[in-house]
Amino acid sequence: MDRELVIIGTVRSEITDLDNAPKMESEPGAVRARIELDPVYLDGLDAMEPGSQLEIFTWLHKADRNVLKVHPRGDTDRPIRGVFSTRSPARPNPIGVHRVTLIAIEDTALIVEPLEVIDGTPVIDIKPQP
């Protein structure tokens, strides 16, 4: 079984502080961001157009990978639950899924909004929303 994860790009965002980043793209503080793609993957953008609704899959590289139970949304007033029943970034494989709108394609970058991840977050895949 091939277990290699390929990083196809990097998020460039004005969000730099993990503690103050929004938890979802629908929350205040999510921003217009730039996804800089490795030029090797540019052919994968064929037929993609501004206005498209996309799912961006990221590797939440700052997440704690040893946590299996959390208070949802970090709210200690909420009962602890297993990470697989939450959207917590803390999990064995910290894959983030973000629903965004494609604003523009500029050279080797996608301009998208709203996105809530921090600057430097690796991108592992892009798919159209169903």
Residue extents of the structural domains in the chain: 9-63+91-128
Cβ burial, residue 52 (10 Å; 0-12/13-18/19+) = middle
Tell me what the pLDDT averaged over the chain comes to: 93
Give the Cα separation of 20 and 102 in Å (integer): 24
Domain 9-63+91-128: CATH superfamily, name plus number: YaeB-like (2.40.30.70)
Instruction: Tell me which residue of 103, 109, 126 sits closest to 52, measured CA to CA.
Output: 103
What is the rounded end-to-end Cα distance, in angstroms, of the chain? 28
Assigned token pair, 92: 């064995």
Residue range 56-114, pLDDT digits in tens: 999 999 989 999 999 988 889 999 999 999 888 889 999 999 999 999 999 999 999 99
Query: Which residue carries 């790009």 as its tokens?
Result: 9
Assigned token pair, 127: 């798919």
User: Percentage of the chain surpassing pLDDT 90?
Assistant: 75
Please determine, for residue 24, whether its predicted confidence score (pLDDT) is greater than 80: no
Q: At 77, which amino acid appears?
A: D
